Structure 1
Amino acid sequence: MINCLIIDDEPLAGQLLAAYAERSADLTVAGTFSNPIEALHFLSENKVDLLFLDIQMPELTGLQLMKITRDKYQIVLTTAYEEYALKSYDFQVTDYLLKPISLDRFLLAVEKVKKNMSSAAGAPPPAEERTYIFVKSGHKTVRIDYDSILRLESMSNYVVIHTAQEKIMTLENLSTLIEALPGDRFVRTHRSHAVALDKIDFIERNRAVIAGEHIPISDGYKDGFWEVVG
């Protein structure tokens, strides 16, 4: 079991994360704190593996708390402010969750924590890697197998996941989805498009063709695209 501590000055946000943690078979909540100073006192006397840590808090920010603890814990940052994402890369954080946080995105973060802890302990990787992703679509959380995904398309405030059988719409943003998908199988071609590499029929000039659809490869993404394609 992974002992986690939730530190967030918004009580409702802390309660939501605690409720999510209860739905994970891998987590035990050691405590929930709205005051980061009190959380530090708790950490000095108790064994904790993982911190769900808000960034913007009074008295002590999440980034300042990380400096104090000096890489002792797995860290999953939680915040309502996307601009803090860049600052988080200066630290060894496991994941970055943007509020409002969905259950499927929370569980993906837990999976990353488990992999990091297994690697740190020298344990071998799991025999079967995950072959699917969960996304929230309407009032449902839908499982989508990697093999069924043809491409992803950002449209206004939502993303359409194109499969051979159907189109699934989700309010998750494209960057978050690409981060959750395996990088050796999916690649961004454009600010609004990403494709499954094994579903590309051919590449023509600045377009990848999948099932008769022409997907643009923009200048900003073409170097990364060709690096993966080879």
Structure 2
Amino acid sequence: MTPMRCLAIDDEPFALEILADDIRRVPFLTLAGQFSSPLAASDLLRRESIDLLFLDIQMPTQTGIQFLRTLSDPPMVIFTTAYEQYALEGYELAVVDYLLKPIPFERFQKAVSKAYELFQLRLSASEPTPPAPAERSFFFIFSEYREIKIFFDEILYVEGLKDYVKIYTSQQPRPFLSRLSLKALEGRLPDRDFCRVHKSFIVPLARIRSFQRTKLFIGAQEIPVGSSYVAEFERKYRIG
């Protein structure tokens, strides 16, 4: 089991100690550092590889949201806060989860398990693969105020969330978040290589490791297969 290296940032000493204790209780988490401010944590983030950041929001001098926006290549992030009103901003920043204090350990476990599944998916995606063709196909999305090129062969899966989509790729720990409907994005993907398997999910057929009738696996990530999509998915998957 490859552990995730974690960093905890919270300006409340008691809350920080509880968070650190929770991290130590989980076998697949390693606490690399705990800090009372983003500024104090910045040097370690620059020097070392961090997989998961636990980040308080309401802090003096700089909020957790402001700090996250300054990071050019942030790790996965779980917000820990006593305030519900920042949930939408957390959603827009594509954080892994949003935990409200006081945080029950069962809820904490659910959040870090979700992060670890994504972490394992990244690891499996980074394993050597056959050389890609010289000409790689791609498309553009608008995300975080910029145009981003997405290569089809880097997509792990796509999740639809109301008027947004999350595009999980092998190239960064966080998904790309774009204001598109899943149907609109489906029209941009090559039909021979991708399949919609649920009202909320599209997957690349080549990334599927195994499947049952109600679910499939891409790396360690479990994706549900909707009953109305089973027949078409099995047809395309078996042909492919």
TM-score (norm 2): 0.50
Compute the RMSD of aligned alpha carbons.
Answer: 2.4
> What one-letter code is carried by the residue in structure 1 that aligns with 2:26?
S
Identity across the alignment (%): 44
Deviation for aligned residue 1:120: 2.4
- Give the match for residue 94 of structure 2: 92
Quick one: structure 1 residues 24 and 13, their matched pair in 2 at CA, closer, same or farther if it must change by over 3 Å?
Answer: same
1:58-115 Cα offsets, whole Å, 9 max, x none, are 1111111111113420100000001111111110200110001011111111101111
- Give the match for residue 4 of structure 1: 6
Q: Distance in 2 between matches of 1:26 and 1:45?
A: 22
- Give the match for residue 55 of structure 1: 57
- Secondary structure of the equivalent of 2:70? helix
Q: Distance in 1 between matches of 2:54 and 2:29?
A: 12
- Secondary structure of the equivalent of 1:89? helix
Unaligned stretches of 5+ residues in structure 2:
127-197, 200-225, 230-240
- Give the match for residue 17 of structure 2: 15
Quick one: structure 1 residues 102 and 229, their matched pair in 2 at CA, closer, same or farther if it must change by over 3 Å?
Answer: farther
- Give the match for residue 80 of structure 2: 78
CA contact (8 A) 1:77 1:95 kept: yes
TM-score (norm 1): 0.52
For these two proteins, the number of residue pairs brought into alignment is 130
- Secondary structure of the equivalent of 2:118? helix
- Give the match for residue 40 of structure 1: 42
CA contact (8 A) 1:71 1:92 kept: no
Q: Distance in 2 between matches of 1:53 and 1:92?
A: 14
Out of 66, 69, 84, the residue aligned to residue 68 of structure 2 is 66
Q: Distance in 2 between matches of 1:17 and 1:90?
A: 24
- 1:119-134 to structure 2, matched below 5 A, reads 119-123=121-125
> What one-letter code is carried by the residue in structure 2 that aligns with 1:14?
L
Q: Distance in 1 between matches of 2:105 and 2:228?
A: 33
Q: Distance in 1 between matches of 2:228 and 2:122?
A: 31
> What one-letter code is carried by the residue in structure 2 that aligns with 1:48?
I
Deviation for aligned residue 1:123: 5.0
Quick one: structure 1 residues 228 and 64, their matched pair in 2 at CA, closer, same or farther if it must change by over 3 Å?
Answer: farther
Quick one: structure 1 residues 64 and 23, their matched pair in 2 at CA, closer, same or farther if it must change by over 3 Å?
Answer: same
1:137-185 Cα offsets, whole Å, 9 max, x none, are xxxxxxxxxxxxxxxxxxxxxxxxxxxxxxxxxxxxxxxxxxxxxx99x
Deviation for aligned residue 1:229: 9.4
Q: Distance in 1 between matches of 2:228 and 2:99?
A: 29
Q: Distance in 1 between matches of 2:111 and 2:72?
A: 21
Deviation for aligned residue 1:36: 1.1
Q: Distance in 1 between matches of 2:4 and 2:123?
A: 13
CA contact (8 A) 1:79 1:97 kept: yes
